[in-house]
Structures are given as structure tokens and as C-alpha cells.
């Protein structure tokens, strides 16, 4: 960017057409001459086309007459547009032309306030040789005399050349050098000179001296000089005067090495002259090399630059606050710089106490006049430490590391975990060993633990606290009462945030009791010791009824799955009996089994020789009553729900 601006007022003669114009012309040179002509006006309001070496543009306001216009353009941008690349400006010219024939008429342009940002010393690194013999030999630099030799040297500090100033007089002592004048350059306390020099030879048996001289104009009357001595024999006498102050350069008298003259000009003036430098302007820069007769002094100079010497200031740093694992860290920095301005703000940050670190560059908010630097998302619990660097356009840096302790923040988690029951499902009827599987996820800090409570309506014990997925629990519902339960899952993440899920289930019993099927029994009346032994099992035994030949015979609660139902058959009369056992559980699931008992007559055989007589002895006669509703009612009175057994007989298991 190179902004040029000026104010102008154009007047021409009505009716005189294209024979009158005014433009601002920049001439460039790189072995060929190029011209950029920026027209403020032309009599016919028209303009000629371009050639390969001349580009013409109409500045904004072109065609306006007799009123002030302000023009502001970026010269660099225009050069890029018209294809003038890598050129040096060789002249700036305002041209106004009138080839007219009307007596007393005129083309007139008023120009005011022309400004352009440019280096105070053209060709500061002595790379461009003069094609016009205006200078000798470097463009933009005048020779002090022709008594020595001033030549480009490939012993350079930058690019291709330095300037070699060598004086070796045979007659009287003499000096030569290079200077750049009429600078009228304003400076301020943040501006430094940054000159490079290399003393190649200084024969000092007599008077000899080499210095860099800054000449100032001020309001004291008369010009004033700061002389930085880079080489001087002891015979060369110097003395400060009112207007001339001598300062030994760092590296003074050192030969064959490049030395930097880096000085705060304001400070040097104020120290040397004991006066404020506020109203001083730099008028001229000169390097002068002197040798006495028969002696030789040779000095190389290169890179005469003015540099900003004041780094930016960081006025405030606002660290990120409440940064969550899904957040980008947001560092807001207010920084300022007198010259040339803050170029960028960067943040160096670490998540491992500086074993490794990263750099991220901020973006400038023109709205808020601050720099935003974003630190990428980090995992929960990460402690991010950082410091801020502001860098100005000249590369000077200022670091704000919070007084050495760094800025920091720790990444949080404010999102509750998610939790749900995979099994069982809502309103599911369950029994036996029930697998409870809970899905719990937390993408931020992660799941710390999952709790499971089983609420029976009476109590709500914690039955599981699991810290590792999968979160599973096997619930033995066989030991639970039948009925409705609420399962509560409670998940807690590592940030202490929790979430819950519930599922209602019903513990049921759909499994009929197991009832064994004893063999039918046959014995002879009078024999003893025979029994029917039923061994029913169920997790929830309830009651049983035994019918003899269809009639109610015996009933009781059946309380334990290890309990046997034993029918003593002693004393049964001869006959055939049907013992039927019905067992039911708490949910009216039943099982039934029938055992037939046959009691045979005893046979008496008369010994041989007598008539054989078989006597049948009848025992008690068996048989029973038919089951009657009355009996059923009686059973209901004892075992409560037994009536239902018969109503829902399809549930009954026949063994």
C-alpha cells in the first residue's frame, strides 16, 4: 500500500478541446522508463489510450472545473492494475498544458496538500545505480566531492551492493562521501535510525576520520548536527560546539566487520543538545570519509533505514471464561502501537505445561478495535495456559504473560449426561432373573457412575453403583413380591452433573408349579407303610388340595418349595382310589397329578387235603363323595383363591 493524496482545482478554457489538460505524472525506471499519468482534467473530457510504457487514468473528480477536489489513491494498487511491476519512482511531476489561441485565457490548476508515504532516503540499500548521471553513482545519493572513489561494492550487507567510499589522497588531505538532502523529515521518540557500516581500512598515523552525519533544522536558528564517528585517528581532533555534537558509534574503529548504528535520534538530540527535539526535522543524512595525504580510509555503508523502536503495548487481555469442552477459547486483546501499528496478535498456548505448545493468530475486529484469538476446543478438564504476543509492522514484539504466571483456564462441562433403560422396557412384565441394562453416555466429562434404585413403593434400595460400562444388573425377581416396581437409573458425570431415567415394570409369575408324578400304587389290604409323596416346587408356593375320587380330601397351605405333600395310605379298604393333587402358586398357576391306588383283597389258601377255599376279606370300602360346589366354597374359605383355580383351569399343568 502506498497512499498518495492531494487537493486540486482545475480550470480550462471552454471550447478549446483536447489541447489543454492537467495531470500528475509518476515516472518509473527499471532500465526502461514508464509513466503513470493521472488526469485531473482535459478540455474535451476525453483521454488518450495507453501504451506499453504509458498508462493514463482519470482520477475521481475528473471533469470537474473550478472547484476543489480531494484525490486519494493507492499508488501500489494502481501500478499492479496497469502492470507496472517492480519499478522505482524516478520523478513526480504535475503537468498542466495549454496549446490554445485565445488571448488572455489560461489553463490553471491549483495544487495543495500533496502527500505520499515514502522512505526518507531513496535507495537506502544502494541497490540502484543512477542511469541519468544526476547522482554519482547511486540513485538518490549525491556525492560530497569527487576527491575519492565512491563505487558499488559486492561486499554488501544486503541484496547485491553496498556503497564503498574510499579516500586515499596523495596531495592534501581530502574527503568524499554520500549524502541525501532536503528531507524535511519529521521524527518522534519512537523512531530509530538503523544504519550499517563496515570500516575496511583506516590508516591512522595522521588525521583521519569517518562519520555519519545527521543534519537537523530547528527553530533555534542555524542547522544542528549529530555526528556518529565510526573511525577516527587519535590525531584527529574533535570538539563539540553549539551546533555540532559528536558521538562514538558502537564498534567505533573496528575494521572488516559490519556494524549497526541503531540510535534513538530523539534521545541523542536531547542528551547531546540538552533541548527538546520536538520541533526538529531531519534535513540531511551524510556519510563522510576523510584521509590525510598519503593515508587511506575506506568505508562501506549499506541499509540506511529508519525504524520504529517502540514495540506495541498490550493494554488488556481478557482470558476466556466458562469454556466448555465444546467451546472454542476466546482471548480478547486490546493492543496499540504508535508506529506502524499492530500487525498481529498471536497467542501461544499449551495444554501440557509447555512440553508442547501451539501458536494461533488473532483476527482484528474493526468494530471493537480489539484482536480476537481463538484457542481450539479442548477436552474436559484440560488446563490451557497461554500468553499473548503483539507484533507491530516492524516486527517489534511485546509479550503479556500475566506477569510470568501465564493466563489460564480449565475446560468445563455443563451438559448433563444422557441415560436410558435398554432393558426392561416400560410396563414390561418380568419374572425370574431380569437383566437390567442401562445406557449412559456423557461426551464431555464422561460418566462417573451409574446408580440403580428399585422402588417397590415401600422401600427404594440402591442395588447397583457401576463405574464402568456396560451398566448392567441382574435382578432376581423371584425373591420379590409380585407387583409394580419403579426402576430409577441415576447417572452422574465427572463434572458432577446428573440425569435420571425411570421405567415401571411389573413382577409377575407365569410359571406353573412343578409337580412330580409318583407311580400308581397297589398293595394288599392290611399292608402298611404306603404313601403318596408329591414334591411340588414353585418360587411362590401357595396351597394345595387333594381329592380322593373327585371328592375333597385334604388341603393346606403350601409354604415352601421343599415341602412334600404326603398322603398316608395305611388302613385303606380294598378298592381302587383316585388321589388327585392340585397345587397352585400365588398367581393361580396350577399343576395337577393323579395317583391311582389299588388295594387288593388278601387271599387265604387252604392247605392240601382240604377243600381249597379262597376267602376274600374286605377291608374298609373306599370311594368318596363327588366334588360339590359346597366343598369348593369350603376350600375357598381356607385357601382364599382356590376357587379361581378351577375357573382358570387351562392354566393348570397336568403332570
415 binds Ca ion (CB under 5 A): yes
272 in helix, strand or coil? helix
Q: Which stretch binds Ca ion (CB under 5 A): 298-306, 360-368, 401-409, 644-652?
A: 298-306
Burial tier of 1 (Cβ tally within 10 Å: 0-12, 13-18, 19+)? exposed
Q: Which of 215, 292, 493, 593 binds Ca ion (CB under 5 A)?
A: 493
Burial tier of 193 (Cβ tally within 10 Å: 0-12, 13-18, 19+)? buried
Q: Which stretch binds Ca ion (CB under 5 A): 114-122, 204-212, 230-238, 299-307?
A: 299-307
For Ca ion, give the closer residue by CB, 76 or 159: 159
Which residues have CB under 8 Å from 226's CB, separation 6+?
213, 214, 216, 245, 247, 265, 268, 269, 272
Please state whether the peptide bond connecting residue 340 to the residue before it is cis, i.e. omega within 30 degrees of 0. yes
Q: How far is the CB of 190 from Ca ion (least distance, A)?
A: 6
User: CA 264 from chain center: how many Å?
Assistant: 41
Q: How far is the CB of 426 from Ca ion (least distance, A)?
A: 24
444 binds Ca ion (CB under 5 A): yes
Q: How far is the CB of 354 from Ca ion (least distance, A)?
A: 28
Q: Which of 323, 538, 544, 652 binds Ca ion (CB under 5 A)?
A: 538
Burial tier of 477 (Cβ tally within 10 Å: 0-12, 13-18, 19+)? buried
431 binds Ca ion (CB under 5 A): no
442 binds Ca ion (CB under 5 A): yes
Query: How many C-beta neighbours within 10 Å does residue 270 have?
Result: 16
Helix (H) or strand (E) holding 558: none
Q: How far is the CB of 510 from Ca ion (least distance, A)?
A: 7
421 in helix, strand or coil? strand
Q: Which stretch binds Ca ion (CB under 5 A): 4-12, 81-89, 167-175, 296-304?
A: 296-304
Q: How far is the CB of 123 from Ca ion (least distance, A)?
A: 9
For Ca ion, give the closer residue by CB, 208 or 589: 589
For Ca ion, give the closer residue by CB, 137 or 575: 137
Half-sphere exposure of residue 170: CA atoms within 13 angstroms, side-chain side = 0
Q: Which of 627, 624, 514, 510 is nearest to 564 (CA)?
A: 514
For Ca ion, give the closer residue by CB, 40 or 261: 261
For Ca ion, give the closer residue by CB, 454 or 495: 495
Burial tier of 338 (Cβ tally within 10 Å: 0-12, 13-18, 19+)? middle
Q: Which of 385, 413, 451, 593 binds Ca ion (CB under 5 A)?
A: 413
477 binds Ca ion (CB under 5 A): no
Whether 495 contacts 380, CB under 8 Å: yes
Bridge partner list, 145: none
255 in helix, strand or coil? strand
Which residues have CB under 8 Å from 594's CB, separation 6+?
578, 579, 580, 581
Q: Which stretch binds Ca ion (CB under 5 A): 227-235, 308-316, 466-474, 629-637?
A: 308-316
Helix (H) or strand (E) holding 268: helix 265-273
For Ca ion, give the closer residue by CB, 158 or 598: 158
Q: How far is the CB of 306 from Ca ion (least distance, A)?
A: 12
Question: φ, ψ for residue 391 (rounded to 5)?
Answer: -125, 130
302 binds Ca ion (CB under 5 A): yes
Of residues 336-365, which lie at the interface with Ca ion (CB under 5 A)?
337
| Cell triple for 380 | 474436559
Half-sphere exposure of residue 74: CA atoms within 13 angstroms, side-chain side = 5
Which residues have CB under 8 Å from 175's CB, separation 6+?
144, 145, 147, 148, 167, 288, 289, 290, 291
Of residues 369-398, which lie at the interface with Ca ion (CB under 5 A)?
392
292 binds Ca ion (CB under 5 A): no
For 580-645, give the secondary structure using H, E and C. Answer: EEEEEECCCCEEEEEEEEEEECEEECCCECECCCCEEECCCCCCCCCCCHHHHHHHHHHHCCHHHH
Of residues 139-178, which lie at the interface with Ca ion (CB under 5 A)?
156, 158-159
194 binds Ca ion (CB under 5 A): no
Q: Which of 226, 261, 310, 323 binds Ca ion (CB under 5 A)?
A: 310
Q: Which stretch binds Ca ion (CB under 5 A): 21-29, 120-128, 596-604, 622-630?
A: 120-128
Q: Which stretch binds Ca ion (CB under 5 A): 97-105, 255-263, 288-296, 439-447?
A: 439-447
CA–CA separation, 463 and 35 (whole Å): 91
Of residues 7-66, which lie at the interface with Ca ion (CB under 5 A)?
none
27 in helix, strand or coil? strand
Q: How far is the CB of 585 from Ca ion (least distance, A)?
A: 4
Size of the site for Ca ion (CB under 5 A): 21
511 binds Ca ion (CB under 5 A): yes
585 binds Ca ion (CB under 5 A): yes
69 binds Ca ion (CB under 5 A): no
Of residues 237-266, which lie at the interface with Ca ion (CB under 5 A)?
none
Q: Which of 225, 509, 542, 544 binds Ca ion (CB under 5 A)?
A: 509
| Cell triple for 54 | 504509458
For Ca ion, give the closer residue by CB, 417 or 424: 417
For Ca ion, give the closer residue by CB, 215 or 442: 442
For Ca ion, give the closer residue by CB, 268 or 302: 302
124 binds Ca ion (CB under 5 A): no
CA–CA separation, 429 and 126 (whole Å): 96
CA–CA separation, 163 and 149 (whole Å): 10
For Ca ion, give the closer residue by CB, 46 or 326: 326
For Ca ion, give the closer residue by CB, 13 or 440: 440
Q: How far is the CB of 540 from Ca ion (least distance, A)?
A: 5
For Ca ion, give the closer residue by CB, 196 or 473: 196
For Ca ion, give the closer residue by CB, 158 or 504: 158
Q: Which stretch binds Ca ion (CB under 5 A): 24-32, 431-439, 508-516, 563-571?
A: 508-516
For Ca ion, give the closer residue by CB, 342 or 574: 342
Whether 441 contacts 491, CB under 8 Å: no
Q: How far is the CB of 442 from Ca ion (least distance, A)?
A: 4
Whether 40 contacts 10, CB under 8 Å: yes
125 binds Ca ion (CB under 5 A): yes
- Interface positions with Ca ion (CB under 5 A): 125-126, 156, 158-159, 302, 308, 310, 337, 392, 413, 415, 442, 444-445, 493, 509, 511, 538, 585, 589
Amino acid at each position: 500500500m502506498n497512499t498518495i493524496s492531494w487537493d486540486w482545482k482545475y480550470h480550462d478554457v471552454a471550447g478549446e478541446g483536447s489541447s489543454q489538460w492537467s495531470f500528475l505524472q509518476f515516472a518509473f525506471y527499471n532500465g526502461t522508463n514508464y509513466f503513470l499519468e493521472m488526469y485531473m482534467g482535459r478540455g474535451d473530457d476525453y483521454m488518450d489510450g495507453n501504451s506499453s510504457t504509458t498508462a493514463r487514468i482519470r482520477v475521481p473528480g475528473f471533469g470537474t472545473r473550478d472547484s476543489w477536489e480531494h484525490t486519494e489513491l493507492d499508488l501500489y494498487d494502481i501500478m499492479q492494475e496497469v502492470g507496472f511491476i517492480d519499478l522505482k519512482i524516478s520523478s513526480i511531476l504535475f503537468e498542466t498544458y495549454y496549446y490554445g489561441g485565445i488571448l488572455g485565457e489560461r489553463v490553471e490548476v491549483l495544487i495543495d496538500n500533496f502527500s505520499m508515504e515514502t522512505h526518507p532516503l531513496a535507495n537506502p540499500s544502494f541497490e540502484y545505480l543512477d542511469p541519468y548521471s544526476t547522482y554519482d553513482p547511486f540513485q538518490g545519493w549525491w556525492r560530497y566531492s569527487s576527491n575519492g572513489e565512491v563505487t558499488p561494492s559486492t561486499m554488501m550487507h544486503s541484496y547485491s551492493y553496498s556503497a564503498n567510499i574510499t579516500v586515499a589522497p596523495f596531495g592534501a588531505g581530502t574527503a568524499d562521501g554520500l549524502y541525501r538532502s532536503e528531507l524535511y523529515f519529521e521524527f518522534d521518540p519512537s523512531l530509530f535510525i538503523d544504519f550499517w557500516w563496515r570500516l575496511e581500512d583506516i590508516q591512522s598515523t595522521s588525521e583521519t576520520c569517518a562519520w555519519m552525519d545527521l543534519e537537523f533544522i530547528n527553530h533555534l536558528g542555524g542547522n544542528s548536527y549529530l555526528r556518529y564517528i565510526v573511525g577516527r585517528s587519535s590525531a584527529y581532533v574533535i570538539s563539540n560546539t553549539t551546533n555540532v555534537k559528536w558521538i562514538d558509534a558502537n564498534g567505533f574503529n573496528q575494521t572488516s566487520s559490519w556494524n549497526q548504528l541503531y540510535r534513538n535520534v530523539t534521545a541523542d538530540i536531547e542528551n547531546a543538545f540538552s533541548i527538546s527535539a520536538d520541533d526538529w526535522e531531519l534535513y540531511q543524512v551524510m556519510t563522510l570519509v576523510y584521509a590525510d595525504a598519503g593515508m587511506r580510509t575506506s568505508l562501506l555503508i549499506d541499509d540506511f533505514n529508519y525504524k520504529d523502536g517502540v514495540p506495541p503495548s498490550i493494554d488488556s487481555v481478557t482470558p476466556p471464561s466458562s469454556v466448555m469442552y465444546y467451546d472454542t477459547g476466546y482471548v480478547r486483546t486490546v493492543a496499540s502501537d504508535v508506529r506502524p501499528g499492530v500487525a498481529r496478535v498471536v497467542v501461544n498456548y499449551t495444554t501440557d505445561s509447555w512440553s508442547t505448545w501451539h501458536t494461533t493468530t488473532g483476527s482484528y475486529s474493526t468494530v471493537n478495535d480489539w484482536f480476537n484469538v481463538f484457542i481450539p476446543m479442548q477436552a474436559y478438564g484440560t488446563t490451557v495456559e497461554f500468553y499473548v504476543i503483539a507484533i507491530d509492522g516492524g516486527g517489534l514484539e511485546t509479550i503479556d504473560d500475566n506477569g510470568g504466571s501465564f493466563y489460564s483456564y480449565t475446560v468445563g462441562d455443563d451438559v448433563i449426561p444422557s441415560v436410558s433403560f435398554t432393558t426392561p422396557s416400560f410396563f414390561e412384565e418380568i419374572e425370574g432373573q431380569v437383566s437390567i441394562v442401562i445406557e449412559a453416555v456423557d461426551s464431555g466429562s464422561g460418566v462417573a457412575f451409574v446408580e440403580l434404585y428399585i422402588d417397590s413403593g415401600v422401600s427404594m434400595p440402591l442395588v447397583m453403583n457401576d463405574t464402568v460400562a456396560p451398566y448392567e444388573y441382574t435382578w432376581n425377581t423371584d425373591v420379590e413380591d409380585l407387583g409394580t416396581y419403579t426402576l430409577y437409573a441415576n447417572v452422574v458425570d465427572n463434572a458432577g452433573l446428573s440425569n435420571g431415567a425411570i421405567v415401571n415394570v411389573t413382577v409377575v409369575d407365569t410359571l406353573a408349579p412343578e409337580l412330580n408324578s409318583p407311580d400308581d400304587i397297589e398293595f394288599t389290604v392290611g399292608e402298611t407303610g404306603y404313601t403318596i409323596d408329591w414334591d411340588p416346587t414353585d418360587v411362590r408356593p401357595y396351597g394345595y388340595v387333594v381329592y380322593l375320587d373327585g371328592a375333597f380330601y385334604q388341603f393346606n397351605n403350601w409354604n415352601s418349595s421343599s415341602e412334600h405333600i404326603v398322603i398316608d395310605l395305611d388302613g385303606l379298604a380294598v378298592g381302587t382310589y383316585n388321589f388327585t393333587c392340585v397345587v397352585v402358586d400365588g398367581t393361580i398357576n396350577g399343576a395337577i397329578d393323579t395317583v391311582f391306588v389299588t388295594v387288593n383283597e388278601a387271599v387265604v389258601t387252604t392247605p392240601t387235603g382240604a377243600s381249597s377255599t379262597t376267602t376274600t376279606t374286605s377291608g374298609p370300602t373306599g370311594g368318596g363323595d363327588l366334588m360339590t360346589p359346597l366343598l369348593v366354597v369350603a376350600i375357598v374359605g381356607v385357601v382364599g383363591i382356590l376357587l379361581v383355580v378351577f375357573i382358570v383351569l387351562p392354566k393348570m399343568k397336568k403332570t
